[in-house]
Amino acid sequence: MKLDPINHPTLPLPDSDGNNNTAETAANLIRHKLDNLYSLEPDAVTETIESSQAAAGSRSKHQKFMIELAASGKPFAQIQTDWHEYYAGLSNSEKHQVWQEFYDVQNRSHAAPAPQVPEPLLPGENSAVTGNFEQHFVPPPKLRIKKSSVADLKQQITGRVQSRSKLSRKAHVQSMLFGLSAGAFVVLMLMFSFFNERVIAPFITPSRNVSSTPLILDPSSAAVGSESKLIIPKINVEVPVVYDVETIEEAAVQKGLESGVVHYATTSNPGEQGNGAIFGHSSNNILNRGKYKFAFVLLSRLESGDTFYIEKGGVRYVYKIFEKKVVSPTDVSVLGSINGKPSTLSLITCDPPGTTINRLVVIGEQISPDPAGNIASTATQTDEQAEILAGNPQSLWSRIWGNIF
């Protein structure tokens, strides 16, 4: 069979004179083969693995370049581009060196001789070239890399990520404690918002909120000012008395309690015959308005025989306590006159402090000035009839619960 030298590259081609120039043809063929073979470059991942496996002291300039490039922090796409540009700028012999370094590492990894690529034949050295070209030249493979190398690299990366994501026992405990602490803080804040009137009440000393001057111990020892106020020396209370609430409507009373304690409009005033009533908060939500939310929080400490004072219109009225009782909010009879006691004053607040369950009533009889000189009651005449004694405003919880149901 006759072979066509044009289509069979292993056959010599005739020169311009019609002669077969075997040496020149073989050299050109080898150059063409080399150009095609070494145009294939190791990918960036392969070269990085190979360079990292080489001993640090024996790395070539190509390996050092790849190590520095991999550690540069550049995006992977940029690393691939930089490596391609570097490899493309190498000569054939330097490209051969890159592949030879790869073979050397693989040879150490497999403990077996790696395929060797012979130096390319130069013109004049082709006298031994016979038969197929591949018998004299072994090309570099597309990618002869130990699969375990890539797997190991992936495992190392995965292991590092997992090791960073795994928390130590101490970190778990700290995380749990932080979560519990944050949860407890939120719960406490909610409980404080809803029920602080109950929590704070036991720690309140009224004088810190409603008294800024020394309390009077001798009713005849000092002049009386023009301000209207209630003074209870035993529990260190000095608080303004609001007289201008002319209705017993709950909202109006609650508004007046923001400015002090409130005289109930339908009861007698100090210096008048009959029974007067003054309402004050025992404990109110600290988030509500007003600075007299705890004026009567210690009212339960008063006992029969204790005294309190009312200053109004430049006169100081002294009352001596003779009765203390707890009644239901609907027991409005405590607002009426008391048989045998021509001039009395009742101090009324919620009980227990911070709730609206009951009302605590402390009643004092006027002992100074002489009640015989008191005038008739000038209490507001109204068709309104009290059905419930004023108390603390609804707590935040009560408001929410009431709106839902």
Residue 288 lies inside a defined structural domain of this protein:
yes
113 — phi, psi (to 5°)?
Answer: -60, 135
- pLDDT of residue 256 exceeding 90: yes
Let me know whether 253 and 332 are in one domain.
yes
Using CB atoms within 10 A of its CB, is residue 292 exposed (0-12), middle (13-18) or buried (19+)? buried
Q: In which element (H, E) is residue 324 found?
A: strand 315-327
C-beta separation of 166 from 145 below 8 A: no
Residue 41 is assigned to a structural domain of this protein: yes
> Amino acid identity, residue 246?
E
155 and 210 together in one domain: no
Based on the fold, state whether residues 216 and 358 are members of the same structural domain.
yes
pLDDT one-digit tens code per residue, 353-389:
878 889 999 999 999 999 999 999 998 777 667 788 9
For residues 135 and 215, membership in a common domain is answered with no
247 part of a folded domain? yes
pTM exceeds 0.75, yes or no: no
pLDDT, residue 171, reads: 79
The domain in which residue 157 lies consists of: 22-164
* Local confidence band at 183 (pLDDT 50, 70, 90 cut-offs): confident
